[in-house]
Amino acid sequence: MSTTVPRPGARHRRKRLGSGESSGKGKTSGKGHKGQKARSGGSLRLGFEGGQMPLIRRIPKRGFNNAVFTQRFAPVNLNSLDLFSDGAKVDEVSLRQVGLVKGEWAGIKILGGGKLKPKNLILEVHAASGSAKSALEAAGAKITLLKR
């Protein structure tokens, strides 16, 4: 049994602060002389500019961002549906059981990637691309688009 050892130089010693002046990190331990950042607990919040109006507040904010309201669908390619047999019912539950869909999504979208082998599938999905619809119809599949 071989053990894995990190390559030479891959692991560094932790910098030991306050261990004598000759260490180079003694006395003030790299914090300089006085000031807020030299004190214990003295840290500044992100974007703080010493009382000056921060850049993020100086820049004008315009327009509307619709990203909060977008619906993200789980993509499933046609060639992924080869896991199902002819005439099988394909819905969100069956796709999750097979392992094609994981995580939290607004719905399922069938995409036209690859070729579809099984015939006469019964699909209940939330969306399908144009190329996927035509390929599914050519294979005799029935597509039902669900509302989300």
Residues in a beta bridge with 124: 144
**Per-residue pLDDT, 100:** 92
**Per-residue pLDDT, 3:** 78
According to CATH, what is the number of the domain 71-145?
A: 3.100.10.10
**Per-residue pLDDT, 1:** 60
The count of other CB atoms within 10 Å of the CB of residue 138 is 10
Local confidence pLDDT in tens for the 148 residues of the chain: 667 899 999 998 888 888 888 888 888 888 889 988 889 888 889 999 999 999 999 999 898 888 889 999 999 999 998 888 888 899 999 999 999 999 999 999 999 988 888 888 999 999 999 999 999 999 899 999 998 7
Question: Within the chain, what is the greatest distance between any pair of CA atoms?
Answer: 81
**C-alpha to C-alpha distance for 89 and 121, rounded to whole angstroms:** 6
**Per-residue pLDDT, 2:** 67
The SS3 assignment for 98 reads helix
Structure tokens at 51: 């009382």
pTM, two decimals, is: 0.57
